Amino acid sequence: MDNNFILKKVRYALNLDDFQLIDIFKLGGIELTRSEVCNYCVKFDDEIYQECDDETLQAFLDGLIIYKRGKPKDGNSVKSYERLDNNMILRKLRIALNFKDEEMLEVLKLDGMEFSKNQLSALFRAKDNHHYQACKDQLLRKFVQGLVKKYREQGKGGRKSSAILDFENF
């Protein structure tokens, strides 16, 4: 999965500005400047585009967990893993957003993916469990796009911004 895509979509869905992103990365253990953060969020063909590697995305996700839920009570930092895969990205997003199974399934459904609780639980099992299922790129993409629909886009259950409402009332 493209790490820049995940970073940009989560940023957009949660309406995070540059300074919030800088704070989140710092909580995750990486200090970035505003221009470095912006370079991760521009289009692929832009000359200042910078690829977001696994270590940087992991720092963002770890920082997002702390940003949204607070520091762990035991005083330790969020547990990082050697290899960041789609299952771990999905798990970290779930933790950061404090989602239950039903909320995860709702977000997937918003982008047209029907999924059962059993299928979902297989994504969060240990790799050596015989019920473990690898999270494919399409599933992670649908989840992240579902976050955008849940938090930002208008439509069923969505809300319009106050600027649009004020304009309509003129």
| Domain spans of the chain, in order of start | 3-152
Whole-structure pTM value: 0.84
Percent helix, strand and coil across the chain, each rounded to 5? 55, 0, 45
d(CA 26, CA 56): 11
Nearest to 67 by CA among 32, 99, 95: 95
Per-residue pLDDT 10s for the chain (170 aa) are 899 999 999 999 999 999 999 999 999 999 999 999 999 999 999 999 999 999 999 999 999 999 999 987 776 666 666 679 999 999 999 999 999 999 999 999 999 999 999 999 999 999 999 999 999 999 999 999 999 999 987 544 444 443 343 434 33
